[in-house]
Amino acid sequence: MAEKGVRVDIDGPIAVMTVSRPEKLNAFDLDMLKSLASACDTVEAEANVRVVILTGEGKGFSAGGDIKAWGAMSANEFGHQWVRFGHRVFDRLATLRMPLIAALNGHALGGGLELAGAADIRIAESQIRIGLPETSLGMVPGWSGTQRLVKRFGAQIVRRMVLGGEMFSAEAALGHGLVDQVVETGTAVAAAKEYAARIATRGPAALEISKLMLAVANGEDNGAAVEALGSILVAKTGDLKEGVAAFTEKRAAQFKGEW
């Protein structure tokens, strides 16, 4: 993988995606967003991967969007090339077919918290801080901070971060449900691998379907999730096999209602 961007390392059923721009505390620019989208494609193409870990290189998980990357954009460029594109990439990450664990080895601020929020499980090191400081810059969260994070964490805690500018320690974040586990400094990835190993022993089809069902229950990506579930079910039926065979053989299908 490239030295900068999002690196993917696969070890058996576990893939590790590492956001790699340590000199900028893993802040995102457009190339980083494109690299993240490519990393999602990479792990989903590996049939043997059952769980993915997302972490950052160096001292930070992610400081969010690089101000220098978007600060000089026109309003149109900012809305379309930055916010909408970034939103699509983070949605891609959130809807990976396999469970995603965020190993927060450093601060997760702004877009960094939105990145962590795309994960199913968050394991944080004790020294980190979490927040959504966008309004201090005169801007708003743009990569689903007011949407996915509200659905996953609740509206009030997001209000406190967005409107009040509150920052939370790892322990406070645990109490508010923003993270699922707090571990010692330097051990987030190891703890995530331990949790990932537990997930990897479970049925991969059941995990994928359960993740889709949970997304529906949480009001996330309902249309795509329902259609994916329906398509998976229909793909296993005798009727579909008959329909495809009839099309190929140029004859009328003889459906028997076979599941």
Please provide the size of the chain in residues.
259
Q: With beta carbons less than 8 A apart as the criterion, state whether 40 and 34 touch.
A: no
Q: Which residues pair with 6 in a beta bridge?
A: 19
208 is catalytic: no
Torsion of CA 99, 39, 151, 159, to 10 degrees: 130
Name the packing angle between helices 222-235 and 238-249 (round to 10°): 80
114 is catalytic: yes
Q: Out of 57, 125, 134, 208, which one is annotated catalytic? A: 134
Core vs surface per residue 89-112: b (16+ CB within 10 A) or e: bbbbbbbbbbbbbbbbbbbbbbbb
Q: Out of 114, 125, 208, 220, which one is annotated catalytic? A: 114
Question: Which positions are catalytic?
Answer: 114, 134
